Amino acid sequence: MTSKFTELCIDCADPATLARFWCAVLGYGVRDTGDGLVTIGPPVPPVGEERPGPVPPVLTFARVPEGKTVKNRLHLDVSPADREQGEEVARLLALGARRSDVGQGGESWVVLADPEGNEFCVLAARRP
């Protein structure tokens, strides 16, 4: 028996705002809200339709009192599904992301930060 990766929890100051940002980034929708938590996930397929392949994990944003202070030890990588990397970076910047320097140098990925400063990478060549 093994475990399955089903959920990633992200501490934040404003779960609703961060959930809206990540819904726009990933094409997810809000699944559940309440008591300082917002959970988002991929669209649920209609009844009777099966989703091919693995089901992506949901993201849960949890309100915490302390702010982010250092570089994340865990971060998301996103891969543009229908555009080039530069176009996706421009889209994400327009949604409220900002460029971030974590010492990456001249790598093929672009490091951005979400509205609360959580770093994530936009990959160049990998397609989901």
Mean pLDDT across 43-48 = 76
DSSP run (H or E) holding 54: none
Residue 77's pLDDT band, with cuts at 50, 70 and 90, is very high
Query: Contact at 8 Å (CB) between 107 and 91?
Result: no
Q: In what order do the strands lie in the sheet with 29-34?
A: 7-12, 58-63, 37-41, 29-34
Nearest to 110 by CA among 121, 102, 118, 98: 121
- Could you report the per-residue pLDDT of 108-122, keeping only the tens digit for each? 889 999 999 999 999
Kindly report the pTM of this predicted structure: 0.86
